[in-house]
Amino acid sequence: MTNANILTLPLYCMHRNTFMNCKIHQMQDRIKSRRETQQKHQKGTRLQHVLDHQLFCFGGLRCRIVNGGNSFSAWPWQVSIQRSEGVHFCGGTLINKNWILTAAHCSVQAGYHQVVLGEHDRGSNDEAVQIKKIAKVIVHPRFNKKNFNNDVALLRLSSPAQITSRVSPVNLVSSSTNIPSGTLCVTTGWGRTATGQGPRILQETTLPIVSTAECKQYWGLTRSITDSMICAGGSGSSSCQGDSGGPLVCDSKGVWYQVGIVSWGTKECLVNAPGVYSRVSFLRQWIDDTVSSVYTLH
Ligand code: ARG
């Protein structure tokens, strides 16, 4: 941290014992002031709701992914990828009625695995879920198992999803989108929580995008951060095992865009370590090409 940065830190940072806490409080101030400006203009809008949620859940301060909380927004693109006996092992997202985006390292197999759409509470039998078989799995041809470079795969559903209020596709960021570090985004999943158990209810947490430079500082000596990766977190919450393949989404003017795919991080899901996500903008061309070329085969 430079002197200039120290000077701009709010007074309460002097009392906080860790830099992480300080960062969390700084972020909260930013959300608060953004929310206040917003309130004057557009009460009750989607963006207002997003900011309320960020204030409530940021950094896992009040919510209990690790240090996230039960999701209370609708994330209609979130899917659970399960073994045939119904055991969840990875997340994914619906990107159009026929295709699921997930992580290559989830090693999804067309014959054995299935996709569950419209799920929120894994323990409930009353949800109008859609269970789909997988017709085809296409792993990125340059996926590298050793360093998780290009950790992306596409799953073609054996029959199209029915689009409802509970099941609908997410927008992907364009190839040219660059999300500035510090932007607050959200990741969701049924992965491990702080209590170790896989949760019943879909969890969510708000976390900041971390610059590649800062992320390399953390990971540089042990793992490489490539162009196909984007980092987020390190501010009190983390995605964890079982969240892989799921989304990192950022809102822009009340519309959510998928920016990342949960890929890797510390084994223990340390909440002060940046997590690594596949960078959707970098992989977008491959996603579009793959989806359109396979469409023309049918
Ligand atoms: N690789 C993990 C999975 O397969 C997800 C990693 C998420 N983040 C972390 N800090 N471990 O589900």
Q: What is the per-residue pLDDT for 132?
A: 97
DSSP single-letter state for residue 130: E
Alpha helices for 92-211 (secondary structure H): none
CA distance 18 to 161: 47
Counting ligand 1 atoms within 8 A of each CB, the residue from 240, 261, 266 with the most, and so the one to mutate, is 240
Going by alpha carbons, the residue nearest to atom 1 of ligand 1 is: 264
CA distance 155 to 163: 17
Within a 13 Å sphere around the CA of 120, how many CA atoms are in the beta-carbon half?
A: 14
Q: What is the per-residue pLDDT for 221?
A: 77
How many A from CA of 92 to the centre of ligand 1?
13
Residues 62, 236 contacting (CB under 8 angstroms) = no
Enzyme catalytic residues: 105, 151, 244
How many A from CA of 239 to the centre of ligand 1?
6
Record the pTM.
Answer: 0.81
Counting ligand 1 atoms within 8 A of each CB, the residue from 90, 106, 151, 239 with the most, and so the one to mutate, is 239
pLDDT tens digits in sequence order for the chain, 298 residues long: 333 333 344 444 343 334 455 555 566 666 666 666 655 555 556 565 566 555 554 544 333 377 677 776 679 999 999 998 889 999 999 999 999 999 999 999 998 999 999 999 988 888 889 999 999 999 999 999 999 999 999 999 999 999 998 999 999 999 999 999 999 999 999 998 888 777 889 999 999 999 999 999 999 878 999 999 999 999 999 999 999 999 999 999 889 999 999 999 999 999 999 999 999 999 999 999 999 987 555 5
Beta-strand runs (E) in the chain: 69-70, 78-83, 88-96, 99-102, 113-117, 130-139, 153-157, 171-172, 184-189, 203-210, 229-233, 247-252, 255-264, 274-279
Q: What is the per-residue pLDDT for 36?
A: 66
Pocket lining for ligand 1, CB < 6 angstroms: 191, 238-244, 262, 264-266, 269, 275
How many A from CA of 274 to the centre of ligand 1?
11
